[in-house]
Chain A
């Protein structure tokens, strides 16, 4: 289709600056009491200091459990929420400062695909109107005489019958609706698409269709994805790099291989260990780590390291010093004082030699966690 228009918008950035750079992003939601005279009684620290970058054509996976702040990050990037602090650079320009016309122009380049294929399409609009609406807002992208044709092209590209332009969303299945949402996101020829749990509401056999479509579109249009999901398998499949979030912060970030083959943060290791494995051989080799308890409330996170309340490696230092997200010799940054790379799934249970000076204890002081190698 029209690859030339897509690439035309992207050649401007300097070579050293990544496409998107997020620095110290913070979002606190105030907890209020009272109706007339609102009183702030606390803060939900949904996102508490998140930094990462995204290059052109790259897929960054963002994984974590519910409440870890990954969806808030997507809203901040989309400018749907205003950050409490921090900056978001798009090709070197801080977009958190933008408003009005400039913001609207920027929005063209970053689009989003939502999780729920039912609430993401306006039920009172036809598919043609939904996919073509972006051009009514940005009339310069496609001249009005071509729009009818371009909507049909887009529908065809995402695997839908172009004759369906006059149908309404409720006449489509979940997978088809997700394709409509993808077509809408493509309409403005963006460079970045934020995929917020794009397949988790779909049937197993349909998920793969949508994942494959996303991969094809990425290569065809040179798209960069921020792929947010709780399903570690899907994230591994699609991502080049992966960031693991816990309680509003990134605890570990690296290439797909770093995270899945050499995870260094105990939380990542526990997360990987908890994923059910289909293959009996791989399952037998999996290191079993069972976390106790639940994620603490983001309104009242633990002091120091936020994971320490569930961590079997926790020491006194963890309660006092929040660990930096740095490379302690394991090859990629992890926010743990006792980070060491371990292979949890899909290989032998061999635990590599500690690569750091501090050797990690096997079990926590309270014995709360039992990593029983099998």
Chain B
């Protein structure tokens, strides 16, 4: 698989991409056995690019982000293979101090649950300002000024008055803005957004997605968007990587993937969702449920649920191969699937 590591990407030819995840493996060692959460995923991210990692719960999409951020619960979680390279240097072999300096400064993350990510006993201004005090050694007054500026940048109205408010005084959408303000405080090159709008209402979700897109345009940062929502991916991602059972099963430019999927799982997901823009007939669900990561099916992990599966599928794990230029699919019959659309 090594030959593919850098290729399924939109990386500028010749240049080193911002982030390269290379054949990453993560497992959780529990009393009940080893859970293979991430099984050899590879992707790259360039500056100014939005990569969506799409998948259902338990597909390993959040775990891979935690591995990048070095916030994996360890034990039981362990990175057992692969490399995560930031501008060419491997994060996993750096010293703890180097890693700390990078994370927060260069790579930062926004989580789904803004309320539990904020400390309820400090004002939001203090929490945003803390980033400057810790990383930049700013004075208390400077930190507060910077916090107000940031709150304005994430379009929190009347930031000056609200800088001393506490997290519970903000609505869900405003709290998520505070989280984003903290994440972009140090001008990171990469922002990872892990289900940033799942807990929010749809009108607020639209606002936050808009904000992320605008901030990205302003700063040129690379954005990794982790989500289960196909619509959100369609709206803002340049490229999408579809994950299933800890592996990337399809990747390519978003519109290309969604208009003609090359992997039956992607195909199934698209057929199973209701559309707001049309009154559909019957939904076509994928049969069964996502697999147990402690006990994966043999061969292609999707074969028990796959309408196109043949006798061959349980015997061999399909590698992620290029179907057409820029499009990769981990299906033995990728070309056939693609042709059908």
B161-197 CB mask vs A (1 if < 8 Å, else 0) is: 0000000000111100000000000000000000000
Which of B57, B172, B234, B274 has the largest number of chain A CB atoms within 10 A? Answer: B274
| Given A203-B57, A212-B282, A212-B285, residue A345 in contact with residue B230 (CB < 8 A) | no
Question: In chain B, residues 204-234, which have Cβ atoms closer than 8 Å to a Cβ of chain A?
Answer: 204-207, 209-210, 228-232, 234
| Given A230-B201, A237-B280, residue A275 in contact with residue B259 (CB < 8 A) | no
Question: Which of A230, A237, A272, A273 interacts with B274 by CB under 8 Å?
Answer: A237
User: Is B276 a contact of A346 with CB atoms below 8 Å?
Assistant: yes
For residue A106, give the distance in angstroms from its CB to the closest CB of chain B: 32
User: Is B258 a contact of A278 with CB atoms below 8 Å?
Assistant: yes
Apart from A276-B206, A279-B275, list 14 A-B contacts with CB within 8 A. A203-B228, A204-B273, A206-B285, A215-B282, A236-B274, A236-B276, A237-B274, A275-B276, A276-B205, A276-B232, A277-B235, A277-B277, A278-B275, A290-B207
User: Is A260 a contact of B202 with CB atoms below 8 Å?
Assistant: no
Whether, in the assembled complex, A65 has its beta carbon less than 8 Å from a beta carbon of chain B, the answer is yes
Nearest to A210 among chain B residues (CB) is B285
Residues of B within 8 A of A160 (CB): none
User: Is A204 a contact of B56 with CB atoms below 8 Å?
Assistant: yes
A270 to B207 CA separation, bound complex (whole angstroms): 11
Question: In chain A, residues 232-249, which have Cβ atoms closer than 8 Å to a Cβ of chain B?
Answer: 232-234, 236-238
16 contacts between A and B (CB under 8 A): A205-B269, A205-B272, A205-B305, A215-B282, A230-B201, A233-B273, A260-B279, A276-B205, A276-B229, A276-B230, A276-B234, A277-B275, A278-B273, A283-B235, A286-B277, A346-B275
A291 to B209 CA separation, bound complex (whole angstroms): 13
Residues of A within 8 A of B319 (CB): none
Question: In chain B, residues 290-331, which have Cβ atoms closer than 8 Å to a Cβ of chain A?
Answer: 290, 305
User: Is B283 a contact of A237 with CB atoms below 8 Å?
Assistant: yes
A272 to B279 CA separation, bound complex (whole angstroms): 14
Whether, in the assembled complex, B74 has its beta carbon less than 8 Å from a beta carbon of chain A, the answer is no
Residues of B within 8 A of A236 (CB): 274-276, 279
Which of B174, B230, B272, B305 has the largest number of chain A CB atoms within 10 A? Answer: B272
User: Is A204 a contact of B228 with CB atoms below 8 Å?
Assistant: yes
A260 to B231 CA separation, bound complex (whole angstroms): 17
User: Is A293 a contact of B157 with CB atoms below 8 Å?
Assistant: yes
Question: Which of B174, B269, B273, B276 interacts with A232 by CB under 8 Å?
Answer: B276
Whether, in the assembled complex, B268 has its beta carbon less than 8 Å from a beta carbon of chain A, the answer is yes
| Given A203-B57, A276-B234, residue A260 in contact with residue B285 (CB < 8 A) | no
A295 to B172 CA separation, bound complex (whole angstroms): 11
For residue A351, give the distance in angstroms from its CB to the closest CB of chain B: 17
A211 to B234 CA separation, bound complex (whole angstroms): 23
Whether, in the assembled complex, A66 has its beta carbon less than 8 Å from a beta carbon of chain B, the answer is yes
| Given A278-B270, A294-B173, residue A256 in contact with residue B203 (CB < 8 A) | no
By a beta-carbon cutoff of 8 Å, the part of chain A in contact with chain B is 65-66, 173, 175-176, 203-209, 211-212, 215, 230-234, 236-238, 256-257, 260, 270-280, 282-283, 286, 290-295, 345-347
Whether, in the assembled complex, B286 has its beta carbon less than 8 Å from a beta carbon of chain A, the answer is yes
Number of interface residues of B (CB under 8 A): 47
Whether, in the assembled complex, B284 has its beta carbon less than 8 Å from a beta carbon of chain A, the answer is yes
User: Is B276 a contact of A233 with CB atoms below 8 Å?
Assistant: yes
A272 to B277 CA separation, bound complex (whole angstroms): 9
Residues of A within 8 A of B210 (CB): 290
| Given A203-B290, A207-B272, A277-B234, residue A270 in contact with residue B279 (CB < 8 A) | no
For residue A306, give the distance in angstroms from its CB to the closest CB of chain B: 15
User: Is A345 a contact of B277 with CB atoms below 8 Å?
Assistant: yes
Residues of A within 8 A of B272 (CB): 204-205, 207-208
A283 to B230 CA separation, bound complex (whole angstroms): 13
User: Is A237 a contact of B279 with CB atoms below 8 Å?
Assistant: yes
User: Is B235 a contact of A276 with CB atoms below 8 Å?
Assistant: yes
A207 to B234 CA separation, bound complex (whole angstroms): 19
User: Is B283 a contact of A211 with CB atoms below 8 Å?
Assistant: yes
A279 to B275 CA separation, bound complex (whole angstroms): 9
Question: Which of B204, B206, B274, B305 interacts with A233 by CB under 8 Å?
Answer: B274
User: Is A271 a contact of B269 with CB atoms below 8 Å?
Assistant: no
A215 to B272 CA separation, bound complex (whole angstroms): 14
User: Is A206 a contact of B289 with CB atoms below 8 Å?
Assistant: yes
A215 to B283 CA separation, bound complex (whole angstroms): 10
CB-CB nearest 9 A-B residue pairs:
A276-B231, A346-B277, A208-B285, A237-B274, A65-B201, A208-B272, A274-B206, A208-B283, A233-B274
A260 to B274 CA separation, bound complex (whole angstroms): 13
Nearest to B275 among chain A residues (CB) is A233
For residue A170, give the distance in angstroms from its CB to the closest CB of chain B: 14
User: Is A209 a contact of B285 with CB atoms below 8 Å?
Assistant: yes
User: Is A278 a contact of B274 with CB atoms below 8 Å?
Assistant: no
For residue B149, give the distance in angstroms from its CB to the closest CB of chain A: 20
For residue A154, give the distance in angstroms from its CB to the closest CB of chain B: 21
| Given A204-B56, A236-B274, residue A212 in contact with residue B283 (CB < 8 A) | yes
Residues of A within 8 A of B106 (CB): none
